[in-house]
Amino acid sequence: MQAHLAAHDDDMWYIITDGPMKILKVNKAAITTEGAPQMVEKHCSEWTSEDKKKANLDNVAKDILYKTLEKNIFSKIKTCTTTKEIWEKLTQLCESNDQTKENKLIVAIQKFDNAKMKPGETLVEFDERFSSIIIKLIYLGKEYSNREISLKVIRALP
């Protein structure tokens, strides 16, 4: 069962990076000059149940991506027709240049420096908001020690 899942994951990654799978068969009417069989696309009427599963992987991968994207990102990729197109568009949208990353880091550091518990905010709400700042900082390559974070939290409390 694990080997089957690993093969499925490999197929899924192939779909994302190379595009929808073409279901092929040996062309018995032609042999290449090297003696290797020539491959041609199978007509859908010839597909086995395994072929149908592989042919549908692009739809499965698109569905997974659609369900994980925020609405503002989804609107930017909704015209893409294949998972590969979606992946390329997401890569383009999400891989910021160095200047953009630096700007995001500066904003995140300012949020960290200015973090204060808001009037009427519960400790749980503050913790969630503060944790999201820390997570963003880590993602952008900036990490604070536990001591620095603890001191910041103490100073942020009323």
Distance CA 101, CA 70 (A): 20
Q: Is the pLDDT of residue 65 over 80?
A: yes
**Other C-beta atoms lying within 10 Å of the C-beta of residue 94:** 8
Q: Is the pLDDT of residue 95 over 90?
A: no
Q: Residues 6 or more apart from 66 whose CB is under 8 A from it?
A: 74
Whether the pTM exceeds 0.85: the reply is no
Residue among 67, 65, 115 at smallest CA distance from 94? 65
Provide the terminal-to-terminal Cα distance of the chain, rounded to the nearest Å.
Answer: 55
Give per-residue pLDDT as tens, 110-123. 999 999 999 999 99
Q: How confident is the model at residue 7 (pLDDT cuts 50, 70, 90)?
A: very low
